Amino acid sequence: MTESLPEELRQLLAQIDDCERRADAIIAGMTDDSVNARPAPGTGWSVAQCLHHLAVINQFYLRGYLAAVQAAAHEGRKFNGLRPTLIGRRFAESMEPPVKMRIKARPVAQPAPTIARDQLVPLFKASHDAYRELVNASATTDINRVIVPNPFYPVIRMRVSTILLIVPAHDRRHLWQAENVKRELARS
């Protein structure tokens, strides 16, 4: 199915595949104790918390968007590229590392205090199932016309094209954070 997708959508799926490879590489050689170690008490998340946050937020954030895209597909408007609003594009870009602005995670997106190493990447990869399904469904409609509420701030409405850009950018943000935590732990 991937071959029949427009190039922009194939690139998004390739970005998610890359994020999953990075997650595998990050936890390679780490133990349950090391993935759950924090850089310093109270100063930031552990590697496990970075990955678990992504798994939790991806599952929460992507709820309901597939149904909206599938409903819009019946309108007959075909995929017309990824064209988020200027604000939407800037928001997606703000998710990219290096982190310029810290945002406190909403309670629903808080990671568990500890999580077993062998569960991290499978949970992270499973959180991308809904994303992949959404990307594939987006090939059949103009997702720039599908406008949905932000799950954290329902008064804010977003184009699905924006959401598709936010998820891999947010993944890269916290993978970068996890890589930095791993490096810091290796130095101590």
Q: What is the mean pLDDT of residues 110-115?
A: 93
| Pairing verdict, β 157-159 and 147-149 | antiparallel
pLDDT at 61 over 80: yes
Q: Which range has the worst mean pLDDT, 70-79, 141-150, 176-185?
A: 70-79
140-179: per-residue pLDDT in tens?
999 999 999 988 888 999 999 999 999 999 999 999 999 9
Give residue limits of the domains in the chain.
2-187
Q: Which range has the worst mean pLDDT, 5-9, 107-111, 132-136?
A: 107-111
CATH class of 2-187: mainly alpha
23-35: per-residue pLDDT in tens?
999 999 999 999 9
* DSSP H or E segment with residue 122: helix 117-126
* DSSP H or E segment with residue 158: strand 157-159
